[in-house]
Chains A and B, each alone.
Chain A
Amino acid sequence: MSSENSKLVKLNNAGFKQNDKWLVEGVSLTVEKGKIVTLIGPNGSGKSTTAKIALGIYKNIEGSVEKYTNKVGYVPQKISIDWTLPLRVYDFMLLTENIKDEAIDEALTLTGVIHLKNKNLGNLSGGEFQRVLIARAISKKPELLVLDEPVQGVDYTGEIALYELIKRISDTLNCGILLISHDLHTVMTATDHVVCLNGHVCCSGSPMDVAKNNEYKSLFGEQASQILSVYEHKHDHVHSDEGEIKKN
């Protein structure tokens, strides 16, 4: 099903060791254009490490990484901006690439934080900051998007909207996405391929296959395999990106 030129990044039996301790080992996966690959696993299972291997942040790795694109957007798991660095949202959007103002506005509008454009990054809430991080990563129109727990701290309705946005971006930009998430609900419904990590790949495949896997069940519990049904949740209203209430 995969043609050779749709590949964006490929890990071959990759692993990374720090202070003689394996953070993760033996990971093989491929991210292709227009596809979403999701990494799941408990804390310390090597999800972020795997993402960093794919991004080329770690240099001395076992195995190999083949990267077929340089247009990368990255949302790291943790980022802290020191007070000594005065940085507005607008400055942050231009951090790694000079992007046109229209593209900046478009991305900030999509993630619902256009009103924060001239605010200082230090004054944002956790959820607002995540929305800015996502906006920055997608404003570059990347071919490969790596999202490490992109919706942490975002309110529940916002979370669903952002996952929908991510799915839409993968379709419209035809970009490949490597997603790390704890939220099994949303992940399982939007993903093409799931890799379940626990220091190594414990299982991988389509969401359905993974949910049926016994190792997955023992890692996440019986309940987790039952949340596969498409998440449906009825409201009599929706929230616009600015948080206003609109009746259905």
Chain B
Amino acid sequence: MFDDFFIRALFAGIGIAFVTGPLGCFVVWRRLSYFGDTLAHSALLGVTMAYTLDLNIAISVFLISSVIALILIQLQKKTNLPGDALLGLLAHSSLAVGLVVIGFLTFIRFDIMGLLFGDILAVTTDDLLIIWTGGALILLVLKLIWKPLFASTVNYELAEAEGLNPDRAKAIFTILMAAVIAISIKIVGLLLITGMLIIPAAMARNISDSPQKMVIFSIIGGLLSVVLGLYSSLEFNTSSGPSIIAASLALFILSLFKIKQSIKLKN
């Protein structure tokens, strides 16, 4: 019925949506969207490393993004620059360095558009394996750190005072962010990964009254976006990333009607 590549892309996208749903909620709650962007931009360096050293792209991106996250934490301690300036510094310089390095790698044919915006033709069965095992691992770890991470998202001092070790949870969460970017890059593309994290979560906020519901709706929103996006990508021959994000935007707009209703009800 479908060409094999499309089934692969679909399964890859579905696996990603299960992970970006809950992580995206934390990105929205903790105001980390620009942080996600920074890690995603640095992923280009990871991709060039994968090509030069013949590594798997996801693994190489995960390593580089983790390193960038560590550098960021160090810079935050050492300078008085505001957080957004530091993030911008790292995001754009790592993107620039990545692009420069690509310029030197003339012996490899690069599909830059595919890297930046995702490509449904690019998913291999190896990628599927990495996405699903990696994704399951991310969700398992997130479940383990849920209590301290969530409590410190609500109030850091409360979590610390009542013995939940929020700093460790935050550090682990940073690693999870790097991991989710690594597994999403082929389908969503590195410029649009943050959208995949934020938009379904933002949509879910409009129709949820508890954190658990928001996570579930965020996953559902992500799944719908992936399916709608990939089908339209196939139909209209568009890049997969923008198609998925555009679909999630449509869902977000729909969710706004619900919130208008509830505001009316309140008045």
A residues in contact (CB < 8 Å) with B: 52, 55-57, 70, 72-74, 76, 79, 81-82, 84-88, 91-92, 95-97, 120, 140, 146
Report chain B residues within 8 Å CB of A146.
161
Are A96 and B159 in contact (CB-based, < 8 A)?
Answer: yes
Are A95 and B154 in contact (CB-based, < 8 A)?
Answer: yes
For B29, give its contact among A82, A92, A96 (CB under 8 Å). Answer: A82
Give Cα A73 to B162, complex, Å. Answer: 6
For A91, give its contact among B158, B160, B161, B211 (CB under 8 Å). Answer: B211
Answer whether A86 and B214 are a contact pair too, CB < 8 Å, given A95-B151, A96-B147, A120-B209: yes
Interface SS of chain B: helix, strand, loop or mixed?
helix
Are B205 and A79 in contact (CB-based, < 8 A)?
Answer: no
Can you name 11 extra interface pairs (CB under 8 A) apart from A55-B160, A76-B155? A52-B157, A57-B157, A74-B158, A79-B158, A84-B28, A85-B29, A85-B153, A86-B208, A95-B158, A96-B159, A96-B162
B residues in contact (CB < 8 Å) with A: 28-29, 147, 150-151, 153-155, 157-164, 205, 208-214
Report chain B residues within 8 Å CB of A91.
210-212
Are A95 and B211 in contact (CB-based, < 8 A)?
Answer: no
Are B209 and A96 in contact (CB-based, < 8 A)?
Answer: no
Smallest CB–CB gap between B32 and chain A, Å?
A: 11
Report chain B residues within 8 Å CB of A96.
147, 151, 158-159, 162, 164
Answer whether A57 and B151 are a contact pair too, CB < 8 Å, given A85-B211, A86-B210, A87-B210: no
Answer whether A76 and B210 are a contact pair too, CB < 8 Å, given A84-B29, A96-B147, A96-B151: no
Give Cα A68 to B97, complex, Å. Answer: 52
Are B160 and A56 in contact (CB-based, < 8 A)?
Answer: yes
Give Cα A55 to B161, complex, Å. Answer: 5
Smallest CB–CB gap between A78 and chain B, Å?
A: 9
